[in-house]
Amino acid sequence: MHETVVAESILKTILENARQTGAKPVSAIISCGQFNVLNDEVMSFAFETAAAGTFCEGMTLTVKHIPMRATCKQCKTTFEFDIYHPVCKQCESGEFDFEPDAPLLLEEIEFEENE
């Protein structure tokens, strides 16, 4: 359910940017990591609800899931870590060193072209 807070936070930033540019926002891209994960359906619904009746109504929101890289402590292979299937793809061991997980980011907003 933290998607609701994320949706409100994104909406606020998009509305601020829309005010500055004077153009209507049509879409936005956000990204998240593997540990701080967002559910796509819940996120879309939360954003749709938050945006209803605002300048952002009807916008599409895309969630990008950024993989996290892990290195196996046994065979030293580096690979994209799947948090729901946490075994080394090479030797199937379960001990890793992790690279930092990606933060929650509002990457990009697309606005309608002004005539």
Partner 1 sequence: MKVSLNQKILSRNEECAQKNKAFFVEHGVLCLNFISSPGSGKTTTIARTIRDLKDKLKIGVIEGDIKTDTDAQKIRAAGADAIQIETRGACHLSAEQVYNAIKALDAETKDVVIIENVGNLVCPSAFDLGENSRVVMLSVPEGDDKPVKYPGTFAGAEVVLINKIDLMEHIEFNLERVLADIRVVNPNAKIFQVSAATGEGLDQWYEWLLKRAGRSDD
Residue 106 sits at the vertex; the CA angle it makes with 18 and 113, to the nearest 5 degrees, is 35
One residue of 15, 17, 67, 77 binding partner 1 per CB under 8 A: 17
Contact residue for partner 1 among 13, 74, 78, 90 (CB under 8 A): 13
Q: What angle do CA 66, 72, 77 make, to 5 degrees?
A: 80
Torsion of CA 24, 27, 33, 35, to 10 degrees: 80
Binding-residue pattern over the window 18 to 47 for partner 1, x denoting contact by CB under 8 A: ---x-x------x---xxxx----------
- Which residues of the chain form contacts with partner 1 (CB under 8 A)? 1-2, 5-6, 9-10, 13, 17, 21, 23, 30, 34-37, 83-84, 86, 94-96, 103-114
